[in-house]
Chain A
Amino acid sequence: MMGDPRHAQPLRRSTLRLPRPDRAWWKHLGAGVLFLLLLFGGWEALARMGFWPRYLVPAFTDVLRALWGTAQSGGLVAGLAASVMRLVLGYGIGLVLGLGLGLWMGRSRIAESTLGSVALGLQALPSVAWLPLALIWFGLSETAITFVVVMGTVFAIAVATSTAIHQTPHTWERAARNLGARGHALLLHLTLPAALPGIAMGMKQGWSFAWRSLIAAEMVYSTVGLGHLLMFGRELNDLPLVMAVMLVIVAVGLAADRLAFGRLEVAVQRRWGVGRRDAKLPA
């Protein structure tokens, strides 16, 4: 803390800073890669030993080959694009609605005691259970699928947001009101930033719910998308293709976490000084 910190940290907008990758981080990454190599190597060896027929237990290279094949035919790209578009659209709508609903429940006692328990209940409902309803309402359409994704997202984010607001220390609100914060200013400068760690967690959870509900919905009804591709592989009895698509689904989920949500969560926790002070960058 010595020296003149003003020079070390020049005046700038209060951005959410991320820790820089350090040696420990590289080590962490190395261990992860090594583990994956061993895992896939072991799988390959086991499958090639011939205890089981290859069409039931394909080797890792069979899966890679299927992946390459569907990538080249354009089926994978089309499916991936369709799924990601739906995901982004549904998640975006769910996020906006969820934040709005959560803020409302967080700030109004009546909204909390009425909508609160409904939201909590609906959060427990697997969102693919909305699909029959959506199909009746919207027919066999994109809207039906988007609706399911929105339903998967909205309650997770709403519940996390309102919980975070309720857990905000009472003295923070008193201090802010004491310093003259009222109405919108109170919402913008106290309620939201105070709840941000909880909201970030809700956003992350909402994202994974959205992804799951999308794949589930695409498997039941869709003509394009990763979920559809899964079912297509099943109809052809093409297990390598099925596994290849599964890998892609996992990869998309991981990528979103590593590149966006996990980082957001760590950055917020560091800034707020909550959670583990030494929180690591996700590898």
Chain B
Amino acid sequence: MTEPRVELRQVSKTYDTQQGHTLALRDVSLRVMPGEIVTILGPSGCGKSTLLNLVAGFEPPEEGEVLIDGQPVESPAPDRLVMFQEGALFPWLRVHDNVAFGLRMQGVGKAERRAQAMEQLKTVGLEQFSHHLLHELSVGMRQRVALARALVMHPRVLLMDEPFAALDAQTRDGLHATLQELWASAGTTTLFVTHNIREAACLGDRVLVMSPRPGTIVAEREVHAERPRHIEDDPVMQVARSLRQELHAAVEAAA
């Protein structure tokens, strides 16, 4: 039996603030196998970002264990890269320097990292814009840059935190297509968080449904539809319908 790439064992997380304690995650267990794409679907505030932050190593879990290839996560590292909702690109760097940032931190030489960055930019269709500044790009293009910046590091896991939530439908569909191409060629294990039901069904090999806060996993569904998928494909829509019911049930149960 292969070992899971990502494993959470009975993870709980509480935030202490001046207003009191917030139990963000309760008793979450999940496994993501190498090469698998798992989407996590949950209502706003249920702890989706918290979950990714724990896997990324930005914060420690309060209880339970977070494991990558069987090793406990201790701190952030480029083998688990987060793609943030706002992109979190660096505006003082040109596009190719943004993509090469992680390589630079690893001490990769200038010519080599430029070559790798250009290669990666091709995979997201932005080689023409390598020398642009970020404010010269559209929001969708910036998310492509963020994707390239993560993938050029060949992470063991890609952690995506609602990366397309701010995009219009057309731009988002384009990014869904690019992402599926990249998965097909690079096979990057991915944990993808969203509150969009159809997006979860479209992108995931498996969808995990989270309850409202305190977040816990209440349902799981495999999606067998063929790839590449489009968000309006019938099989995707069917899965989305049953996911919608499960999500509603979870929200009702919490209310």
Chain A residues in the interface with B (C-beta under 8 A): 1, 4-6, 9, 11, 14, 169, 171-172, 174-182, 185, 189-190, 193-194, 196, 271-274, 277
Beyond A14-B93, A174-B76, whether A273 also contacts B135 by CB under 8 A is: yes
Q: What are some 20 contacts across the A-B interface (CB < 8 A)?
A: A5-B131, A5-B132, A14-B93, A174-B88, A175-B84, A175-B90, A178-B76, A178-B78, A178-B80, A179-B81, A179-B101, A179-B102, A179-B105, A179-B149, A181-B101, A181-B105, A193-B92, A271-B133, A272-B92, A277-B135
Q: Which residues of A contact B86 (CB under 8 A)?
A: 171
Verify if B134 is at the interface (C-beta below 8 Å from A).
Answer: yes
Verify if B17 is at the interface (C-beta below 8 Å from A).
Answer: no
- Among B76-134, those with CB < 8 Å from A are 76-78, 80-82, 84, 86, 88-94, 97, 101-102, 104-106, 128-134
**Looking across the interface, which residue of chain B has its beta carbon closest to that of A196?**
B92
How far is it, in angstroms, between the C-alpha of A206 and the C-alpha of B35 when the chains are bound?
Answer: 55
Query: For chain B, which range describes its interface: under 10, 10 to 19, 20 to 34, or 35 or more residues?
Result: 20 to 34
B91, B104, B149: the one within 8 Å of A189 (CB): B104
How far is it, in angstroms, between the C-alpha of A78 and the C-alpha of B26 when the chains are bound?
Answer: 75
Chain B binding surface SS class = loop
Closest Cβ of chain A to B51, distance in Å, is 15
Verify if B58 is at the interface (C-beta below 8 Å from A).
Answer: yes
Decide: A6 and B105 in contact? CB cutoff 8 A: no
How far is it, in angstroms, between the C-alpha of A185 and the C-alpha of B90 when the chains are bound?
Answer: 15
Decide: A271 and B105 in contact? CB cutoff 8 A: no
Q: Which residues of B contact A182 (CB under 8 A)?
A: 105
The number of inter-chain residue pairs (CB within 8 angstroms) is 81
**Looking across the interface, which residue of chain A has its beta carbon closest to that of B161?**
A171
Chain B residues in the interface with A (C-beta under 8 A): 56, 58, 76-78, 80-82, 84, 86, 88-94, 97, 101-102, 104-106, 128-136, 149, 153
Q: Which residues of B contact A178 (CB under 8 A)?
A: 56, 58, 76-78, 80-82
Chain A binding surface SS class = helix
Closest 4 A-B residue pairs measured CB to CB? Answer: A273-B135, A179-B102, A180-B105, A175-B88
How far is it, in angstroms, between the C-alpha of A179 and the C-alpha of B88 when the chains are bound?
Answer: 12
17 additional A-B pairs beyond A174-B84, A193-B92, beta carbons within 8 Å, are: A1-B136, A4-B128, A5-B128, A5-B132, A174-B82, A175-B88, A175-B89, A177-B76, A179-B149, A180-B106, A181-B101, A182-B105, A189-B105, A190-B90, A271-B92, A272-B91, A273-B91
Closest Cβ of chain A to B104, distance in Å, is 7
Decide: B102 and A172 in contact? CB cutoff 8 A: no
Beyond A5-B128, A171-B86, whether A185 also contacts B92 by CB under 8 A is: no
Decide: B129 and A5 in contact? CB cutoff 8 A: yes
B78, B84, B94: the one within 8 Å of A171 (CB): B84
A14, A172, A185, A274: the one within 8 Å of B88 (CB): A172
Most chain A beta carbons < 10 A, residue from B82, B90, B92, B93: B92
How far is it, in angstroms, between the C-alpha of A177 and the C-alpha of B58 when the chains are bound?
Answer: 9
Decide: B94 and A14 in contact? CB cutoff 8 A: yes
Decide: B128 and A6 in contact? CB cutoff 8 A: yes
Q: Which residues of A contact B134 (CB under 8 A)?
A: 273
**Looking across the interface, which residue of chain A has its beta carbon closest to that of B127?**
A6
Closest Cβ of chain B to A172, distance in Å, is 6
Beyond A175-B82, A175-B84, A180-B77, whether A193 also contacts B90 by CB under 8 A is: yes
How far is it, in angstroms, between the C-alpha of A180 and the C-alpha of B78 when the chains are bound?
Answer: 6
**Looking across the interface, which residue of chain A has its beta carbon closest to that of B135?**
A273
How far is it, in angstroms, between the C-alpha of A174 and the C-alpha of B130 when the chains are bound?
Answer: 24
Decide: B101 and A189 in contact? CB cutoff 8 A: yes
Closest Cβ of chain B to A103, distance in Å, is 17
**Looking across the interface, which residue of chain A has its beta carbon closest to that of B132?**
A5
How far is it, in angstroms, between the C-alpha of A4 and the C-alpha of B128 when the chains are bound?
Answer: 6
B128, B130, B153: the one within 8 Å of A179 (CB): B153
Q: Which residues of A contact B132 (CB under 8 A)?
A: 5
Closest Cβ of chain A to B141, distance in Å, is 10
How far is it, in angstroms, between the C-alpha of A182 and the C-alpha of B130 when the chains are bound?
Answer: 26
A185, A193, A274, A277: the one within 8 Å of B105 (CB): A185
**Looking across the interface, which residue of chain B has its beta carbon closest to that of A179?**
B102
Q: Which residues of B contact A176 (CB under 8 A)?
A: 90, 101
How far is it, in angstroms, between the C-alpha of A274 and the C-alpha of B89 when the chains are bound?
Answer: 14
**Looking across the interface, which residue of chain B has its beta carbon closest to that of A171?**
B88
Decide: B131 and A6 in contact? CB cutoff 8 A: yes
Q: Which residues of B contact A175 (CB under 8 A)?
A: 82, 84, 88-90
Most chain B beta carbons < 10 A, residue from A178, A180, A277: A178
How far is it, in angstroms, between the C-alpha of A174 and the C-alpha of B136 when the chains are bound?
Answer: 24
Decide: B82 and A273 in contact? CB cutoff 8 A: no
Decide: A11 and B131 in contact? CB cutoff 8 A: yes
